[in-house]
Each structure stands twice: as structure tokens, then as C-alpha cells.
Structure 1
Amino acid sequence: MVVMAFKVLPTFVLLFAAVDASRILAAIPTASFSHQVFYRPLWKELAKRGHEVTLVTTDPMKDPTLKNLTEIDVSVAYDYKQNENMQEIFESDKTMAIHKMIEILYKNTRLYFGHKDVKNLFLDKSITFDLVMIECVFPSSFAFAHRFDAPVICLTSLDAHYIIHAAMGNPTHHILYPNFLLPVGNPMSFTDRLLTVIAMNVLTAYMDYWVYPEVRKILDEEIQDEKSVMPESSQMFDKIDMVFTNTNPLFNAVRPYSPATISLAGGLHETSTKPLPKDLQDFLDGATEGVIYFSLGSNVKSKDISTKLRQQIIAAFEELPHKILWKFEADTLPNQPKNVKIVKWLPQQDVLRHKNVKLFITQAGMQSLEEALFARVPMVAIPFFGDQDVNAQRMAQKGLGLTLNHKTMSKSDFKLAILEVIHNKKYKNRVVEVASMIQDLPMKPLEQAVWWTEYVLRHKGAGHLKGPQIPLWQYYYLDVFAVIGVVLGVILLIFIKVTCYVKRFICGMVNKNMKASIKTKKSKSKKE
């Protein structure tokens, strides 16, 4: 009987696991590796726990060991970059850069949702899911939430846009909690406050009356269904049950969250150490004077920067005693210095963990900053667009390194910044201090993400955890102040009226008495 029990027990365990297993759809439309890689550990862990995960991604993992993970490869969405002049975008002013990025969004949306497998997801009415997990950076993601009648978890590898915070019932004061894309000072000047309020209202109107309708039109053209696959802007965020953000109170603004907003700080996508390729290992091991690692990430490519900027960088590198490991996406680097090694793609976390890496020169993408921070490597940031300016500013404010403007940077500025961060131990010490605080958590980020994902599955949603959502006129007490103002105004008016009446009454009595007195005096005078 005992032997039989041990034989049967695994079967029962598998049966219970199957009961708990759920069908999960995860869709990350952004054609950017940094956006995709952040949540990879979550997809893997959910699949390993028995959930059937369907992942729509531009960067499939193609891991044969993950039997419960089905990947829909939409890497075709990267094709929009082939005809884009990225250098022009880098060199344009911020307003024009935002406009060009919105145009890229439209092209990316057409390519992503024009894919036959994505169309099949929408058109095959027999396909169902128990949970939908979408990236909430771009509005097209909400088509997935609109199509499937299931709880929705909204994902972002950055901070969430203020509209998402509002949907979760989080405070959205533009001065106390400025949008993560605005490079404003801390504390904010009056000019910063004025421009922030104007910018956020203009952006809201732009999204509501231009971007959302255009994206809706594109989706309806690509996925021709009997009804629109994109919700109206007024209903777009209603179905969100929970939001996962990549924020922490040391690097981002400290703000209150509703229980439905989960911060996954501390290194969700931090990977275990893997052996480096031999040539790379030998290069790093042999750099006893130290290595400077230079990468502009997956969106900003070194081959696309201006010739002038590249020459300034090369000239500075030539004068340094350190070895330089440069992620450079072309086969050759013109005028390549002897101390520079170029590689098209690098296992960044493993490189940063090497003991000889003394400095990371970065574009200040959020994932790159985290990876350098957790590897305890100080930084020099050269931001280009998006959230990079804000990230670089905060990095410098926290004492983790220095930041430079790529449009005005000279060879001398670049070299001095490098030498300052490498030789001044305060930057290294501060990186170690901040990293240890951020990673001092009661639960690892991956465990936290999995627990809350399964919480939403267990309870078929998490709307009960969202905070109250009220219009701005209520949020800022405008109706209350209006009523109080009217009441005080009425009281003041009554007081003025009564005062005037009393004044007239008193004045009338005084005048009457005076007239009576004068009359009496005249009467006495006549008698005399």
C-alpha cells in the first residue's frame, strides 16, 4: 500500500497543478530589446509553474526547455527602423523628436498588428485567456485588453504614465509627481512648474484627440473585424486590474501607490552569471589597468551617432590608459584606436560584473542603469531621447556618476568626466551604497511579480485594490472651495448689508435727534 501510495501521489500532484494552471496572454508591442528583456524572467517562471503562456514579442527567446511557453514572433516590427534616419532624430530638438517618435509608433503598430498570427488572435473567437498582460507604454496594447474578456495586468519596464497612475487611483499631482519623461529640476523652479502643467495638459489633449484616434484607425484597418478592436479613449483604461512598474523610491520620485500598483524594484531581470566568450574573457582579464565599457543600448546605436560626436569620443579614448570595450554595431570603426575593442552585441550584465570594469558609459536607459548599479559600476551618461534625460539627471543627482550633453560635449569634457568618475572613489562608494539599499527587499522582485500575477488569477481580477478615481475639479476641491466661497460671499454680503442698514439707521437717528435738538433750540430762542 505504501509503495502504491508513492506511485499514485505524483499523479495527484500533477492533477492539482493542472487545475491551478491558467492560460495567459502576454503582449509587448514595443520593438525594443530593453522593453522585452525586463519581463523575460516572469514569462519563464510562469511557464515553469504550469501556466500556459502565449507571448507576443519582437524578441522571442526560443528556449526549447519552456514547454508551456508559446511565442508569436513579431520581429517584423523592427523593419520600421530600416528607413529611419536615427541620427536626425538624435540631433533634433525635443518637440520634433517626440513628433518623430510618434510617427515611428504608427509604423510599428502597422507592422505588429499586421502580422498574420496577431490577426488570428483577434479574429478567432474560440481563443480565450484567463489573464491578459499588456505593455501600457503605447495605446495599441489596449486592443488586447479590449478583445479578451479577462482580467488585465498592465506592464511597464519604466515608471507608468500619469494616466495609468490615475486609472489605478494613485495621486497624479503634476508638481509633486512630475511625469517620468519631463527632465525638470528637484526642487522645481517656477518655470519648471509652469512648463510642466502646460506640457501635461497639451500632451493629454494630443493623446486624446490625435494619437488614440489614429492608432484606433490603424488597428481597424489591419484587423478587419465586425467591431473595432480598439476601445474609445474614455474606456481604454477601465479594464486594468493591476500595474507592474519598474520603480523604486531611491531612484524615482517618492509617491503613494494604491495596492493595485506593484513596484518591481531591485532587479527583476537580473540574470545569473554566465561564462563569457573566450576572446572577451581574455580581453577583460588582461586589462589590469581597467576597462571602460561603452554601450548606447539597443535603441541608440553607436553607428548612428553623428560623425562629429564619434570623432570626439575616439579622440578622448586615444588619450586614455584604459582598455575600451565598445558595443559598435558596424563591422568597422573608422580611426579605431589600439586600446578599443568593438563588438556588435555583448552580454551586458556579465561584462559589467567583471572585476576589471571600472566605468560604464551609457545612454541612461532604465535597464542599463539598473544593470550597472547592481554590478556596482559607476557611470558617465550621454542621454539622447525618451526617459534617458530624466534618468541621467537623477543618476547624477544621486551621486552615481556624471552626465554630458551629446550636442555640446567636447573631447576634453568627455575625457575629464571619465577620469573624474574612475578616480574619485565617491562615485563607486555611492553606487555600492544605493544598490545595497534598493536590493534590501522583503521579497525578490520575481517572486513578487509571480505572486501578484497568480493573485489576479485566483480572484479573477483586482479591481477591489484600485484607489478612487475622481475628476480634477473634485481632486483639487474646486467644488468645495466654490461652495465655501459662495457661502462666505453671501455671509460677507449680508454683513455688509446689515452694516450699511445699521449705519443708515444710526445715522438717521443721529440726524433725527440733531434736527429735534436744533428745532428745540430755535423754539426756545423765539420765546426768549
Structure 2
Amino acid sequence: MVRMHHTLPMVVATVQLLPALWITVSCARILGITTLPFFSHQIVYQPIWKELSLRGHQVTLVTTHPMKDNGLTNITEIDIGEIILSVLGEASLSQDTAKDGSHYSILRKLFENHYIIADAVFSDRRFIEVYNSSYVRFDVVVAESNISPIMYAVAAKFKVPLVGVYSFGVWMGLNHAIGNPHPLSLYPEIWSGSDGRMKFFERIRNTLYYIWTRYYLNFEALPKCDQIARKYLGNDIPYIQDIEKNMSLLLLTTNPILYEPRPNVPTVISMEQMHIKPVKPLPKDLKQFLDNAKEGVVYFSLGSNVKSINIPEKLRKVLIEAFAELPYKVLWKFEADDLPGKPENVLIGKWIPQQDVLAHPNVKVFVTQCGLQSVEEAVARGVPMVGMPFIADQTRNIQRLSEEGAAVGLEHTTLTKEEFKNAIFEVVNNPKYKQNVKRLGEIWVDHPLPSLNRTIWWIEYVIRHKGTKHLRSPTADVSWFEYLLIDVILVLLTIVSLALFILYVAIKFILRMIFGGRKLKQN
């Protein structure tokens, strides 16, 4: 009994110490790198950094949009936003994925821009102190997976697992690199404007583009990416393509509505609606404007990439004339203090709390460029849309929403005042659009685990197991020649051809023996 009394305090102390030990063991050092200077993309990642910090991980973040949250004491943020905009410009990045550009020119321009971005980021003194330090250590690198794999090399420099994250779907080249199935008959490039029901000539175009992509990557883009990575990180790293192939995890903003269902490898995880937040009170003047609009409100915004101030004068004139003739009030996100010719029923604002505005019951329709994050917000708030696509995946987004009966699509280059007004009246007055948006919203959020929880669990899974080699797709190590069974097909064709040739020779020999013998007897 005495021994038990003496042992009891030790047991209690040990039990009390276990949680502290668990926290210490589970705390990881995480390096995050996101280089796109678009707020709509970065707001998807911010909940990830915040949650990792709140869970006790030490996060070093290289980003174009720092959170600057004083409540997060274990995040170090390196702001590279101004650096990237100074060397490239936000408008340049948006124009590179304009829907009227060819697939080939889009991909080439995107890589060329990312060469410039990588040089600027790697040259930043604060980042140099991170990747060149002899005492800085990390357990995982989480890097934005936007076309270029250059930043993946930082994970190889630190010899830690790599996690890719992107507020978009995945492009064809990355699918190929990680061994994710990508049948050319079903899945076009994400900025092509096509969906999985491609016609014959679209499949031809998709196949030719894929062949050109393989050539461009292997002989131009990847060697250049590898050269830039070695310039700053040294030669003691694998080839850039091998680093990309060994990605432990890929987190994507996809969903079952806008993206065709596909067989993903286990390391590709969806994280849709990451940035959707609870509804907050509106500013007093904005709330008053919306509350007083008993006839309804049209909310118009082209997002953070396209911007209303940059649209052609002809299109702006069409919009202004159409808005002036509507019986509704109009809230327009316009990035200037003044809008020449602004109708009386229009209120403009440089910045508008979009999620909270869309939650207001008087907002009847959202006129949008159909960027992925804007669509997610509209669906989350149950607001039907009129889509006016400009760049990237916006064309396919409005196409899918129109097929689902949740939106009406318009072509901004040929838009007339009457077309625009008719589209707004159709969406406002036909209840099917509202009903279909709500239906999509119910599908979108029906998951066994919220996206943020799922995302954090997988990142910590990579940390716990020091990568995911056990989940790696064997397709990543198979050449296209083997993957398409070209070698097997050639061997089988050779065997069949040889067999047919032998059969032909044998039949010819037999016929010659038969008919040759008869002819000899007759003579």
C-alpha cells in the first residue's frame, strides 16, 4: 500500500504530461509558398494557414496576401505581393488566360510569367534567409501548384515531403506528372472552355494539344524550370520533373458540379468552399441600400482578376444603359471613385463584402464573370447567376451552370442592351434558377467531413508518415509508351503479322505444289 501511495503521484504526473508531450511531438514546422497575386485565389489558402497555426504548428508563409492576424503568434509571413506586381503586373497574369487565346499560347505565356515570378521570389532577401539558412528546418513544404513546378524544388532542398495546393482544378501536365488518370477522350484542358462531352474535332484538338504539351514540357519548360531552381538552390537537388512526380499530396478546389467526375489517385484531395464564412453584418450604408430595395437588387462584380474598371468602353456603355432601364437597384463593384454616366439606381463601391451581400434576401441575381470562388459564394448563398466569362475556367463554369439551370450565360464581346436585360429578367422572374442553385448548394456541402478538417487531416497525415510513398500511383513512373501499351501492341502486331506471313507463304507453297504438279502432268 505504501508503494502504491508513492507511485500514485508519479502516475498522475505522467498522465498530466502526456498531452503536453503529444502537442510537442505533433507540432510541425511548415513552409507555405503561394505566388499568385490574386486575392480570390489566396483567400482559399488562408483558412489552411490559420488552422495549422491554431493547431500549434509553426508556419512560415511566403505569400502575396498576408493575413496580418495578430492573434496568430506562430506564423511568420513574408509579403511578396508588391514584388510580383512590380515585375509582372496583375493585368498581365489575367490577360494570359483570356478565353480567346489558343491553348498553346496560354500555356507558354503562363510558364514565361512564372519564370519571372520565381526569379523575383528567390531573389527576395527575406526568402533567401529561409532557404539558405543552415539552421532552419521544416517538416513539410506546401506550395501553390499553378503550372510551374519551380517552387517545388524548395521541398527537395530541405529534403521534406511536398504538398501541392491550388484554388482551381488541375492542369493536364500535373495530372500526368503525379500519375493521375487523364483520358484525352474525356478530360480537356481546364482553360479550354470544353467539358467532358467533347465532339470529335474537340477530341482531335485535345489530343494534338497533349502531344505538343509533352514536347514543350520535356524540351523547353521543364529544363528552364530546373535551371532557375538550381540557380538559387544549388545542384544538390533532383531534376525538377522528378521532384514534381514525388509530390506527396495535391489539394484542389474542385467540386461535383463544375468538374466532371473522375478517378483520382488517393493523394488528390478536394477542398471545395474553403473560403465560405458565416454571414456577418453589413456596413450601415450598404445595409440601408439593400434593405430599401423592395423591388430587388442586381449585384454586379467581375471579381478581383478581371475588374470592371478594365472592361472595354463599349461593354461598359451597354451595361450602364441596361441598368438604367431596370426596375431594380444595382450594386456594382467598380474600382474607381466615379463612374461616368452612372444611373440613379446604381450604387458603386471599390470593395464590397461579397459573401455578406449575396446573403441579403433582396439580392435577386448575381451578374458575375463566373470565377470559381465567386460561383462557390453564389451557390453557398443560394443566388442564381448571369454569367459573363472572360478568362481561364470561366467559360466552362457558366456552361455547366447553364446546363444545371442555375444561370444564364452571355458573350460579353457581342452583348447588346436587350440581351443583357432579358437575361436578368429571365433569372429574376423564373423560379427554376433559384431552385436549382439551392439544389446545387445542398449537393455541394453534403460531405462526411468539412473541407477544412479534411484538408488539415491530410496535411498532418503527410507530416506523420513523412510523405505518402505508400499511396504513390505507379503510373507516375511509367512512360507514355508503356502506359498506352504501345510496346505490347507492337509485339502483338508483329506476332500476328508474322503468323499471317507464315500462313501466306505456306498456302502459296501448298497451292504451287498442287497446281504446279497438275500442270506438269498435263504437259
Instruction: Tell me if 1:511 matches 2:523.
Output: no
What residue number does 2:201 align with?
Answer: 191
Work out whether residues 36 and 59 of structure 1, in 8 Å CA contact, stay in contact via their aligned partners in 2: yes
Alpha-carbon distance change, 87 to 158 in structure 1, aligned in 2, over 3 angstroms: closer
Give the distance between the partners of 1:165 and 1:91, measured in 2 at CA: 22
Give the distance between the partners of 1:238 and 1:66, measured in 2 at CA: 33
How much does 1:407 deviate? 1.3
Q: 1:496 aligns with which of 479, 501, 504?
A: 504
Alpha-carbon distance change, 410 to 205 in structure 1, aligned in 2, over 3 angstroms: farther
Q: 1:145 aligns with which of 152, 155, 179?
A: 155
Q: 2:403 aligns with which of 388, 397, 403?
A: 397
What residue number does 2:181 align with?
Answer: 171
Work out whether residues 364 and 384 of structure 2, in 8 Å CA contact, stay in contact via their aligned partners in 1: yes
User: Residue 347 of structure 2 aligns to a residue in which SS?
Assistant: strand
Q: 1:114 aligns with which of 101, 120, 123?
A: 123
User: Residue 142 of structure 2 aligns to a residue in which SS?
Assistant: strand
Alpha-carbon distance change, 90 to 198 in structure 1, aligned in 2, over 3 angstroms: closer
What residue number does 1:282 align with?
Answer: 288
Work out whether residues 58 and 74 of structure 2, in 8 Å CA contact, stay in contact via their aligned partners in 1: yes
Deviations 1:475-507 (A, max 9, x none): 222111111111111111111111111111111
Alpha-carbon distance change, 4 to 390 in structure 1, aligned in 2, over 3 angstroms: same
Runs (5+) with no aligned partner, structure 1? 516-528
How much does 1:123 deviate? 1.6
User: Residue 317 of structure 1 aligns to a residue in which SS?
Assistant: helix
Give the distance between the partners of 2:97 and 2:421, measured in 1 at CA: 22
- Rg bigger for which structure? 1
Instruction: Tell me if 1:272 matches 2:278.
Output: yes
The aligned amino acid for 1:143 is A
Q: 1:383 aligns with which of 379, 382, 389?
A: 389
Work out whether residues 158 and 246 of structure 1, in 8 Å CA contact, stay in contact via their aligned partners in 2: yes
Instruction: Tell me if 1:37 matches 2:46.
Output: no
How much does 1:259 deviate? 0.9
Instruction: Tell me if 1:483 matches 2:491.
Output: yes
Q: 1:435 aligns with which of 429, 434, 441?
A: 441
The aligned amino acid for 1:268 is M
Work out whether residues 216 and 230 of structure 1, in 8 Å CA contact, stay in contact via their aligned partners in 2: no
What residue number does 1:241 align with?
Answer: 248
Alpha-carbon distance change, 450 to 234 in structure 1, aligned in 2, over 3 angstroms: closer
Number of residue-to-residue matches in the alignment: 511
What residue number does 1:205 align with?
Answer: 215
Give the distance between the partners of 2:363 and 2:403, measured in 1 at CA: 23
Alpha-carbon distance change, 419 to 258 in structure 1, aligned in 2, over 3 angstroms: same
Q: TM-score, normalised by structure 2?
A: 0.91
Work out whether residues 91 and 407 of structure 1, in 8 Å CA contact, stay in contact via their aligned partners in 2: no
How much does 1:316 deviate? 0.8
Alpha-carbon distance change, 328 to 230 in structure 1, aligned in 2, over 3 angstroms: farther
User: Residue 243 of structure 1 aligns to a residue in which SS?
Assistant: strand
How much does 1:101 deviate? 5.1
- Indicate the larger mover: 246-255 or 95-104: 95-104
Alpha-carbon distance change, 298 to 202 in structure 1, aligned in 2, over 3 angstroms: same
Instruction: Tell me if 1:424 matches 2:434.
Output: no
The aligned amino acid for 1:344 is K
The aligned amino acid for 2:514 is I
User: Residue 79 of structure 1 aligns to a residue in which SS?
Assistant: helix
Alpha-carbon distance change, 282 to 3 in structure 1, aligned in 2, over 3 angstroms: farther
How much does 1:351 deviate? 1.3
How much does 1:164 deviate? 1.9
What residue number does 1:524 align with?
Answer: none
The aligned amino acid for 2:168 is L
Alpha-carbon distance change, 81 to 329 in structure 1, aligned in 2, over 3 angstroms: farther
How much does 1:404 deviate? 1.5
- Indicate the larger mover: 494-503 or 117-126: 117-126
Give the distance between the partners of 2:175 and 2:59, measured in 1 at CA: 27
Q: 1:473 aligns with which of 473, 477, 481?
A: 481
Alpha-carbon distance change, 215 to 298 in structure 1, aligned in 2, over 3 angstroms: farther
Work out whether residues 287 and 356 of structure 1, in 8 Å CA contact, stay in contact via their aligned partners in 2: yes
What residue number does 1:256 align with?
Answer: 263
Q: TM-score, normalised by structure 1?
A: 0.90
What residue number does 1:291 align with?
Answer: 297
What residue number does 2:329 align with?
Answer: 323
